[in-house]
Amino acid sequence: MKKGIISLLSLSVLIGLSGCNSDSGSESIDYGKKATGYLVDIADEIEGIGAREASTPEEEAMGNWLYDKLTGFGYDVEVQPFTYQKGDKLLSSKNFIVEKQGASEKTIVLAAHYDSTGSDHGSLGATDNGAGVAAAVAIAESLMQESLPYTVRILFPGAEENGLNGSLHYVRQALDNDQLDNVIAMINYDTVGGGDYVYVHAAHSDYAEYQSTCEKLGLGEADYNAQPHVRDAMLQASIAVKGEEGQYTVHPAFPGYPEGETGSWSDHAGFACAGIPIAYVEATNFDINGKWGFDGYSQTVNPAAWDCYDAENKTACDRENETRWGKIWHTEFDRLDKLEELFPGRVEQQLSDNVNIVLELMTSAGYISDK
Ligand SMILES: [Zn+2]
């Protein structure tokens, strides 16, 4: 049962060794591969932290791990505690923020929430969102060695899974303190591995999709930004790294959602409300006719994640009685051992690609327009 973990661990050991044996310096470090080692530290319940539900001691342990890692890379880590209401309870969590100064004050924000959910179903949050956090940590490490055209700010929000609490707190206080004035783009990493394809989305062209989130921030339609150019910049960077064949996917239109546009259910939402163009990266499968249609909520055609998958019609054999629907997030499949059984090598590859694509975008001035 632990075969998957053993292979991931031996991979991280090999990466560590090749780093030690290298005599050509930091240029030779493959940060895409390093992210796999960080994913083991985060999501493996024996070697790492494992499940980390919002506002639990495990989420706090994850935050401490982030603080130590980022400090170790040489960052001044801003710790931003916050509270939020959940039912009749007042809960607390923290955001962690680091920044690498670039030639320009214009700033690109990358966010990856570090809490997880579904532990009652056996989820350890390997892909949602251990993968996003592992990739963002590897990117943070790499950026310390780079001269950047734009400033990069990396945000690790807490308590995303029960209401986008960390990112909404961050946006509200950043607006109050003029910390978004220079922000020209925001990239949200949420579940960047596991699913059959890696997509990149823009915000929805219809403000109504985001209205309830924007109103929580005291913002309205005039503040909202649905421009797709950060999504398109990410697509261009993905072509530069992976070629036309391996580029990020743009989902086709489905009812209520034009091509390449997404809803307000993750940490990009508050930023779009605050007038910042966003790109949201997630690994799923919009070709599947899932429980509610072609909405990307079913992540894989792998029959192991279905009671019964009807490949010809791309849906459940029995739509009335299907219980699993090809979902990985928040289920017993969102753990490294299960993922490695279902998809040998996939998560490592997706992690590595995501790291290299975002590094390409952040280290070149040409992708995001400086307006
Ligand atoms: Zn998530």
User: What are the distances in angstroms from CA 351 to CA 74, 123, 143, 269, 316?
Assistant: 23, 19, 17, 23, 29
Q: How far is the CA of 110 from the centre of ligand 1 (A)?
A: 14
Q: Alpha-carbon distance 259 to 294, whole Å? A: 12
The percentage of residues in the chain with a pLDDT greater than 90, rounded to a whole number, is 91
pLDDT in tens, 20-32: 444 444 458 999 9
Q: How far is the CA of 320 from the centre of ligand 1 (A)?
A: 27
Q: Which residues surround ligand 1, an ion (CB under 5 A)?
A: 128-129, 190
Q: How far is the CA of 189 from the centre of ligand 1 (A)?
A: 8
Q: Please name which of 214, 179, 194 lies closest in space to residue 285, comparing C-alpha atoms.
A: 194
Q: How far is the CA of 129 from the centre of ligand 1 (A)?
A: 5
0.75 surpassed by pTM: yes
Q: How far is the CA of 54 from the centre of ligand 1 (A)?
A: 11
pLDDT class for 365, splitting at 50, 70, 90?
very high
Q: What is the mean pLDDT of residues 77-91?
A: 97
Write down the pLDDT at residue 11: 46
Q: How far is the CA of 159 from the centre of ligand 1 (A)?
A: 10
pLDDT in tens, 88-124: 999 999 999 999 999 999 999 999 999 999 999 999 9
Q: How far is the CA of 334 from the centre of ligand 1 (A)?
A: 11
Write down the pLDDT at residue 369: 76
- Mean residue pLDDT of the chain comes to 93
Quickly name the fold that domain 3-290+331-363 has.
Aminopeptidase (3.40.630)
Q: How is the chain split among helix, strand and coil, in percent rounded to 5?
A: 40, 20, 40
Q: How far is the CA of 268 from the centre of ligand 1 (A)?
A: 11
Q: Beta strands 89-100 and 150-156: pairing type?
A: antiparallel
Q: Would you kindly state where each structural domain of the chain is located, as residue ranges? A: 3-290+331-363
